[in-house]
Structure 1
Amino acid sequence: MSVDARLGLLIIISSPSGAGKSTLAKRLLADDDTINFSVSATTRPMRNGEVEGKDYYFKSRAEFEAMVDAGQMLEHAEVFGNLYGSPMEPVAQAIQQGRDVLFDVDWQGGQQIRASNLRDNVVSIFILPPSIAALESRLNARGQDSAEVVAGRMAKSRDEISHWAEYDYVLVNEDLDTCEAELRAVITAERLRRDRQPGLMSRVRALNTEFEDMT
């Protein structure tokens, strides 16, 4: 990384199901090739067509647990008997190379990442729905889940929303395009923060040298 290159961001986006975080994440990734989506590790078997290191890092349970014990996971959880988590090393490398890494995680994953060794690079954003009625309407409009599943997601959303104050930024997704623009504005501002630009000191010194040469 050159002295003028910025450090990468670790971007966390969280929301209750149906509030739009996955759609917003997909839009960011489609339009900004400097943002990479974090590749998770998992203990579940590889499926047909999946590629190691692209879809997941496939690990045995013993390998996964050893990584957790060694502090090599940014966050992890067990889902339906399989372990899932975010390996720290590729994220740390991306940040040092000035590349941003995007995480679409729940509040628990967000808490673990913010408590990690990479916390100084974290920018956390919580997406709120405009109303609970709108949230339920969006879940039903998907047409992907049964009424029982939708009810379960709605019951969980109250707990998810209760963690909004833990995040650096909170956006209300009343209009998807507007929310996307606000999300991009947050990322742009964070990229330009003084403490994320290690080359600024040498640049200012060069400017002062020019002043001295003029006298």
Structure 2
Amino acid sequence: MRVVIAEDSVLLREGVQRLLADEGIETAAAVENGDELLDAVIEHKPDLCVVDVRMPPTFTDEGLRAAIECRRRFPGLPVLVLSQYVEERYAVELLAGGASGVGYLLKERVADVKEFVDAVRRVADGGTSIDHEVITQLMVRSKKSPVDKLTPREREVLGLMAQGLSNTAIAGTLVVSDGAVEKHVGNIFAKLGLEPSNSEHRRVRAVLAYLDS
């Protein structure tokens, strides 16, 4: 796997690069702003981009904007966004273009090597990895939406789906059977009005509904 890292902090940029190298993951380029990120993606065509939300010159949303532009130019390009704080709007905006191959983690998660590397590999493989703190805050501000129809357990299952967990992993986390999880997932799809589709994966659509609720 080859990645491009976009992070203005030299310490974090080099730290992530070294951490990935220890896991056998090559860094094709490590840059410090959005323009350099786009150039690096064009040049190296990486398997994944690890991007800070806030970068020079204004330190607002340059990284996110660059990531969205990269995905516009290279549809399906996996992007894992790192942020110092929970910024809900950015998480929803990134996912609005399609939840396949996207992740949003707080920077403090990098300290948990296994969790971070798992997220890197999951997103690179086309999965989703959303920080549980982001999910928690989105739930707190949730207003009337189809998600409100879900039972507490179904919301819990959907939250774990949003983190990128498989049914088996969800079953292990909740200490229930795979069959019970499959039943909850089926109920979630039904309550959200997600009929089988050849063009969109219902799991992704359910996560989007959850994050936009």
Select the structure that is richer in helix: 2
TM-score of the two chains, using structure 2 as the length reference? 0.35
Return the structure number with greater relative CO, CA threshold 8 A, min gap 6: 1
Structure 1 or 2, whichever has the larger Rg, is 1
Select the structure that is richer in strand: 1
